[in-house]
């Protein structure tokens, strides 16, 4: 079963600050729902800028997702190496709008096993990503406040 998802938001932060936050894989556990651990495993890889691993626990079931990330100027391309999806590709795009705002977009394309596909309805994925983005913005605002 294929699942495609996209969400875009305008954020009241400089695009460089937002991009640095998205690229900081090890902070994901601070704001990604159900994420118990996030770590960078390897940056010395010819195919990826970064290899990361996320650990989740949802309804008592633990999941690990290992991904290869390619970091470009305003985009991060994500490819699942190992995890619960049959295939998964995603991207973060951070676009400069002006000195005080940017547009952030998250796109994901996944091929999921049938049972997981039932659990991952469009509305469930949308809620999950919105909770993630709200937490992301709150974490970014708190970090920005302490750094200024």
What local confidence, expressed as pLDDT, does residue 123 receive? Answer: 77
Residues 79-133: tens digit of each pLDDT: 999 998 899 999 999 999 999 999 999 999 989 877 766 666 777 777 888 888 8
The strand order across the sheet containing 35-42 reads 2-11, 101-111, 87-98, 75-82, 61-71, 50-58, 35-42
pLDDT band at 147 (very low <50, low <70, confident <90, very high): low
Please name the residues in contact with 35: beta carbons below 8 A apart, sequence gap of 6 or more: 28, 29, 54, 55, 56
CB 23 within 8 A of CB 38: no
Instruction: Tokens for 148, please give them.
Output: 């200024």
> Residue 89's closest CA among 99, 78, 81, 97?
78
What local confidence, expressed as pLDDT, does residue 33 receive? Answer: 86
Range of the domain at 7: 2-147
Question: Does residue 22 carry a pLDDT above 80?
Answer: yes
The length of the chain, given as a count of residues: 148
Q: What is the CA radius of gyration of the chain?
A: 15
Query: Pairing relation of β-strands 2-11 and 75-82?
Result: unpaired
CB 66 within 8 A of CB 42: no
Instruction: Tokens for 55, please give them.
Output: 């650990």
Instruction: Report pTM.
Output: 0.84
Residues 25-83: tens digit of each pLDDT: 899 999 888 899 999 986 677 888 889 999 998 878 898 999 999 999 899 999 999 99
What local confidence, expressed as pLDDT, does residue 46 receive? Answer: 80
What local confidence, expressed as pLDDT, does residue 126 receive? Answer: 78
Question: Does residue 148 carry a pLDDT above 70?
Answer: no
What local confidence, expressed as pLDDT, does residue 71 receive? Answer: 92
Question: How many independent structural domains does the chain possess?
Answer: 1
List of long-range contacts for 55-63, beta carbons under 8 Å, 24+ apart: 58/34
Please tell me whether residue 60 adopts helix, strand or coil conformation. coil
Q: What is the CATH number of the domain that holds 113?
A: 3.30.530.20
What local confidence, expressed as pLDDT, does residue 10 receive? Answer: 96
CB 126 within 8 A of CB 38: no
């Amino acid at each position: 079963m294929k699942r495609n998802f996209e969400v875009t938001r305008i954020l009241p932060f400089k695009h460089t600050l937002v991009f640095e936050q998205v690229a900081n894989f090890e902070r994901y556990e601070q704001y990604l729902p159900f994420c118990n651990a996030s770590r960078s495993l390897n940056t010395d890889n010819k195919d990826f800028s970064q290899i990361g691993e996320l650990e989740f626990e949802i309804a008592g079931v633990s999941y690990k997702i290992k991904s290869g990330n390619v970091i470009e100027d305003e985009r991060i391309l994500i490819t699942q190496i190992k995890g619960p999806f049959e295939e998964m590709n995603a991207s973060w795009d951070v676009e400069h709008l002006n000195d005080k705002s940017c547009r952030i977009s998250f796109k994901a394309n996944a091929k999921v096993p049938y049972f997981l596909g039932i659990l991952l309805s469009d509305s469930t994925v949308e809620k999950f990503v919105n909770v993630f983005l709200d937490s992301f913005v709150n974490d970014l605002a708190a970090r920005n406040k302490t750094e200024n």
